[in-house]
Amino acid sequence: MSSRSANETFQPVAGILAFLLPGAGHAYLGEVRRGVHICIGVFFLFFGGIFIAGIDAIDREEDFWWFVGQAPVGPVAFGIDRIHQNMKAHDPPPDATADWFEMNRPARMRSLGHVGEIGALFATIAGMLNAICIIDATWHAPRRRRGERGGDA
C-alpha cells in the first residue's frame, strides 16, 4: 500500500490551470521549467496526432471514446473538435458524383486504417499524460534539486 508524501499539498487552482493549459499548473506552483516541458510534450503528441491523421483524429461525435481520452488536453481539444464538426457540415452529399468532386473539394479527408488509428492514439496519449500532470499538480509534492533543501527555483 502506498502512502502520501509528507510535503504533499492540495492545489485545486493548479489543477484547474493544468487542465486549461498543459503545464500551467506546474508553472503556477513555481516549477516553470517543468511546466514548459510538459506543455511542449503534450502539444507535440496532440498536434502530432492531428498532423498524422488530419483533423479527423479529433471527433467527439463519431469517436466518442477516443475523445474521452483526448479531452484532458483541455480547451484546445474541445476547440479543435468544434472546428472539425463545422467542417463535417460541408461533407460531400451522400449522392455525390464525380462531377461534384470536380466542382468542390471536401473540407477535410477522412483518416482510415493505421494512419487514423495512430493519429487518434497520439492525441489520446497526450490527453492521458496531461491527466497525470493535472493529478500531479493538484496533489503536489515539490521536487527539489539534488542535495537541496529548499523549494523549486
Partner 1 sequence: MIGLASILQLGLLAPAYRPFIDPLPLTGWLWWLTLIPLAFGVSMVYKAIRVSSSFNTYWREVLLMTLQILGAMIGLAIGVHILIEWLVPVLE
**Residues 45-64 close enough to bind partner 1 by CB under 8 A:** 45, 47-48, 50-56
* Of 113, 104, 107, the residue nearest 84 (C-alpha): 107
The answer to whether residue 29 forms part of the interface with partner 1 (CB under 8 A) is no
Task: Return the residue of 6, 10, 98, 146 that touches partner 1, per CB under 8 A.
Answer: 146
Smaller CB separation from partner 1, 94 or 147: 147
128 and 69 Cβ atoms separated by less than 8 Å: yes
The answer to whether residue 24 forms part of the interface with partner 1 (CB under 8 A) is no
Neighbour-count burial for 6-44, b at 16+ CB within 10 Å, e otherwise: eeeeebeebbebbbebbbbbbbbbebeebbeebbebbbe
The answer to whether residue 90 forms part of the interface with partner 1 (CB under 8 A) is no
The answer to whether residue 100 forms part of the interface with partner 1 (CB under 8 A) is no
Neighbour-count burial for 118-138, b at 16+ CB within 10 Å, e otherwise: bbbbbbbbbbbbbbebbebbb
Binding site for partner 1 (CB under 8 A): 31, 33-34, 37-38, 40-42, 44-45, 47-48, 50-56, 107-112, 114-116, 118-119, 121-122, 125-126, 129-130, 132-133, 136, 142-146, 152-153
